[in-house]
Chain A
Amino acid sequence: MIRRLALLIVFYLLSAELLAWTSRTVLDPGGHVDVAIAGLTVLSLVLRLLTMFVVPFFLAFRLLNTRFHRPKMDR
């Protein structure tokens, strides 16, 4: 799980940087460029929302599980 969350954060950071670079470089969007920027924007936003909400939730939940989980006794 931790590895997946780390990958999610890395993908989010990459997409945000790519989006920032694209929007910085392309002043007059049009046609295919418009579609690419729109797609990248949606992808980056989805990854950002997941990173900002899902990652802290699962990290906290996992920490609580580790701290308070009582293993079942072998019978």
Chain B
Amino acid sequence: MKWIRVLVALAVVRLVTPTMVGRDARAWYRGDPAVQRALAEDLVAFEARDDLHRSQSADRFTGEWALVTHQMIALGLAQLCLEHPEWKPRYAPFATKAALASFLPEMRGFGTRAWRGEDALASLDGPHGHAYLAYPALAIGMARLVDPAFPVAKAREHDALIAAYERRLLASPTGLIETYPREAYPTDVAAVAAAIAVHGRVTGVDHRRVLAHWAERVRAVQIDPASGLVIQRMGAAHGDRHDAPRGSGTGLAAYYALFADRSIAELLAKGLFDHEATFFGFGAIREYAAGHSGRGDVDSGPVILGVSVAATGFALAPARALGRWDSFERIYRTTALFGMPVGHGGHMRFATGGPIGNALLLALLTSGPELAR
């Protein structure tokens, strides 16, 4: 009879643990102001501390991760302003502050070094892609969308950058532009498309031709037909594969596609959720398509039992924005299990996430209001 008691105890764990761990899932999915505001306030406090740090410390929080941290804070706060317009007076100025921080020259130093000293904004007439700067360009666009006081001089720089991206993307037969020399990432180009789309919403400029070109090339060139995942890294000129179809790139590309083209976002989301692995009420996304394998890297984070931290987290955005409640709930449970949400004084944060993890989760858990029609 002991094994029956073990089975019953396991069944209790199956029922109790996912429910306990994912108790906030429905609040995030529905856009409960209490949970959204608590995480937003923590990241607003981070932006204020970062300013102080920047002025006092030579060892500044800079580089690729810092760029993404500020970018995601800007996106998350701007999405909250769209979902709750009455929050604009509080969060729109911080969306601008975070977006401008992501646009600082030192934040893109890694890209300037990769192009042997060529700065992206100083070479807008040139042929090089510099697609990494689309991340801050998207943040700037969203800040412009919600903040009427956005500085005009920076808006003009943004206009020029978007015009350069539009020209480069239309000239590319693969719908890809380079991030680094001879390396193009479909995910980064999805960020380019998102930045162009949001710019159109802000300024009224018609970008439909370039967005249609990008969407058609994504379907024809960038998605692996067998798995439905995007190829992580490619050659821009001929679309040759430099890496496998992977979940982390597809997840983030699906989030960016939400800004630009709903049908592409749905296509990428289908590929992503076809790679969901479930266990005991928890869900996670496999990093590699069937027939491919590899270790974790800077894009995926750790890959454990075939599932990756990044792909799993990124999947929250299309799950919420496209109304996939079941997947959202399972994946949120996994996020909360390993993220360890803790609250303090009206703020909350995911204890293991650090600044970048919390910034990402603010943007991903509030995804939806940015959805393109």
Is the contact region of chain A dominated by helix, strand, or loop, or is it mixed?
A: helix
| Chain A residue total in the interface (Cβ 8 A) | 25
The answer to whether A57 and B351 have CB atoms under 8 Å apart is no
The answer to whether A57 and B13 have CB atoms under 8 Å apart is yes
The answer to whether B50 and A27 have CB atoms under 8 Å apart is yes
Other-chain residue from A41, A58, A60 in contact with B8 (beta carbon distance below 8 A): A60
The answer to whether B59 and A48 have CB atoms under 8 Å apart is no
Most buried by A among B5, B21, B344: B5
How far is A72 from B50 in the complex, measured between Cα atoms in Å? Answer: 67
| Chain B residue total in the interface (Cβ 8 A) | 31
Residues of chain A with a CB closer than 8 A to B9's CB: 57-58, 60-61, 64
Residues of chain B with a CB closer than 8 A to A56's CB: 12-13, 16-17, 20
Residues of chain A with a CB closer than 8 A to B340's CB: 16, 19-20, 44-45, 48
Within 8 A of B (CB), among A32-75: 41, 44-45, 48-49, 52-53, 56-58, 60-61, 64-65, 68
How far is A66 from B60 in the complex, measured between Cα atoms in Å? Answer: 59
The answer to whether B354 and A23 have CB atoms under 8 Å apart is yes
- What distance in Å separates the Cβ of A68 from its nearest Cβ neighbour in chain B? 7
Residues of chain A with a CB closer than 8 A to B342's CB: 16-17, 20
Residues of chain A with a CB closer than 8 A to B20's CB: 52, 56
Within 8 A of A (CB), among B334-373: 337-338, 340, 342, 344, 349, 351-355
Within 8 A of A (CB), among B56-103: 57, 59-61
The answer to whether B17 and A53 have CB atoms under 8 Å apart is yes
Other-chain residue from B21, B60, B352 in contact with A41 (beta carbon distance below 8 A): B352
- What distance in Å separates the Cβ of A48 from its nearest Cβ neighbour in chain B? 6
- What distance in Å separates the Cβ of A66 from its nearest Cβ neighbour in chain B? 11
Q: Write the chain B residue with the least CB distance to A22.
A: B351
The answer to whether A52 and B17 have CB atoms under 8 Å apart is yes
- Does B242 interact with chain A (Cβ within 8 Å)? no
Residues of chain A with a CB closer than 8 A to B60's CB: 28
How far is A4 from B354 in the complex, measured between Cα atoms in Å? Answer: 30
Other-chain residue from A23, A44, A68 in contact with B5 (beta carbon distance below 8 A): A68
Beyond A16-B342, A19-B352, A48-B337, is A28–B8 a contact (Cβ under 8 Å)? no
- Does B226 interact with chain A (Cβ within 8 Å)? no
- Does B167 interact with chain A (Cβ within 8 Å)? no
How far is A75 from B10 in the complex, measured between Cα atoms in Å? Answer: 35
Q: Write the chain A residue with the least CB distance to B6.
A: A61
B246-276 interface mask toward A, CB cutoff 8 Å, 1 = contact, 0 = none?
0000000000000000000000000000000
Q: Write the chain B residue with the least CB distance to A70.
A: B1
How far is A64 from B21 in the complex, measured between Cα atoms in Å? Answer: 23
Beyond A23-B354, A44-B351, is A28–B10 a contact (Cβ under 8 Å)? no
How far is A29 from B351 in the complex, measured between Cα atoms in Å? Answer: 15
- Does B53 interact with chain A (Cβ within 8 Å)? yes
- Does B49 interact with chain A (Cβ within 8 Å)? yes
How far is A44 from B337 in the complex, measured between Cα atoms in Å? Answer: 11
Most buried by B among A29, A48, A49: A48
How far is A7 from B128 in the complex, measured between Cα atoms in Å? Answer: 59
Residues of chain A with a CB closer than 8 A to B17's CB: 52-53, 56
Residues of chain A with a CB closer than 8 A to B50's CB: 27
A5-32 interface mask toward B, CB cutoff 8 Å, 1 = contact, 0 = none?
0000000000011011001100111100
Beyond A17-B342, A28-B59, A65-B5, is A60–B351 a contact (Cβ under 8 Å)? no
Other-chain residue from A28, A53, A64, A65 in contact with B13 (beta carbon distance below 8 A): A53
Beyond A19-B352, A20-B349, A30-B59, is A45–B338 a contact (Cβ under 8 Å)? yes
Instruction: Name 24 A/B residue pairs within 8 A (Cβ), A-sorted.
Output: A16-B342, A19-B340, A19-B351, A20-B344, A20-B349, A23-B354, A27-B53, A28-B53, A28-B57, A44-B352, A48-B337, A52-B17, A53-B13, A53-B17, A56-B12, A57-B12, A57-B13, A58-B9, A60-B8, A60-B12, A60-B13, A64-B5, A64-B8, A68-B5
The 3 closest A-B pairs by CB, nearest first: A60-B12, A60-B9, A61-B9
Residues of chain A at the chain B interface (Cβ within 8 Å): 16-17, 19-20, 23-24, 27-30, 41, 44-45, 48-49, 52-53, 56-58, 60-61, 64-65, 68
